[in-house]
Amino acid sequence: MARKITYSQAINEALAQEMARDDSVIVMGEDNAGGAGAPGEDDAWGGVLGVTKGLFHKFPGRVLDTPLSEGGYIGAAVGAAACGMRPVAELMFIDFMGVCFDQIFNQAAKFRYMFGGKAVTPVVIRAMYGAGLRAAAQHSQMLTSLFTHIPGLKVVCPSTPYDAKGLLIQSIRDNDPVIFLEHKLLYTREGDVPEESYAIPFGEANVMRDGDDATIVTYGRMVHLAMDAAAKLAKDGIQVDVIDLRTTSPLDEETILESAARTGRVVVVDEANPRCSIATDIAALVAQRAFRALKAPIELVTAPHTPAPFASVLEDLYIPSADAIAQAVLKTRS
């Protein structure tokens, strides 16, 4: 039975169901177990935003607090995964991944390749990403393409509570390292989510809306802005496909190319900076494999090539808008 819960609650439920199913699943991160037993506290804080709240008492000894040393505990998570555990490590912000690159890029992502497929590293690294909370340049990055570039990593970017639960369950069960990215403006968004456990396969994009006039390809929070743009365009009789990638690695090339070939007009939306981004990668894919079907140049809607600003008026201009997406679609038709 489905009921409405938030994106944050869906993640919590996925963790609880997988921890109940498999004793090898553990949760670790800063303040995940913090606060438990402190005066006036009857539960752990559940991480910086309380996403794991309630798990500490349900699963004694399996929700672990870590020091403020991202490199240290991500290394510990990778080691635990290599030794048979299935750790889910919470990193407060994707911006802190920089101090973990060796553990992720040179260790976790490489083990299967270096040991002839005999070694697996079933670690999930959860992190907040994206702008919109006035968190300034060091706490607002995307970095999706950085992890997508690394062979051996799977990169997941759910846009809805339903996908957050199903994709996290799939991530925990996967035998490869998974970077699970949660846009910070989606945590309070509600959606219909089944109570029972379910897994959403990687590499299967979700066509959120059908149309033959143009294709919008995006992921994460930008899916909702793309849907707003599509609704606005529909008032003028323009019907578009809206493709939610769900995962950037693996990438559902077939769905993108089928839609591009059918509509002949493609807009790629990415909150990230444009250079070497998911947007440019998809544009290259379409240009290489569906060029003859195109009726107009591919349009990209991205953030500018600058760090995210702190000032509210500047950050609002920095983030791609529904109006900008709609204008890009209209440009392909001019």
Active site residues: 139
* Mean pLDDT of the 209-233 span: 99
**Same fold flag, 2-194 and 206-332:** yes
Class of domain 206-332: alpha beta
User: What whole-number percentage of the chain has pLDDT above 70?
Assistant: 98
Q: What does the pLDDT read at residue 40?
A: 59
Q: How far apart are CA 294 and CA 282, in angstroms?
A: 14
Quick count: other Cβ atoms within 10 Å of Cβ 308? Answer: 26
Domain ranges of the chain: 2-194, 206-332
pLDDT band at 177 (very low <50, low <70, confident <90, very high): very high
pLDDT tens digit sequence for 280-322: 999 999 999 999 999 999 999 999 999 999 999 999 999 999 9
Q: How far apart are CA 85 and CA 299, in angstroms?
A: 44
Quick count: other Cβ atoms within 10 Å of Cβ 274? Answer: 15
Q: How far apart are CA 201 and CA 180, in angstroms?
A: 14
Q: In Å, how far from its chain's centre is CA 9?
A: 16
pLDDT band at 42 (very low <50, low <70, confident <90, very high): low
pLDDT tens digit sequence for 95-111: 999 999 999 999 999 99
For residues 1 and 52, the model is more confident at 52
* Mean pLDDT of the 47-72 span: 92
CB 155 within 8 A of CB 278: no
pTM of the model: 0.96
* Mean pLDDT of the 190-200 span: 98
Write down the architecture of domain 2-194 according to CATH. Answer: 3-Layer(aba) Sandwich (3.40)
Q: How far apart are CA 164 and CA 223, in angstroms?
A: 14
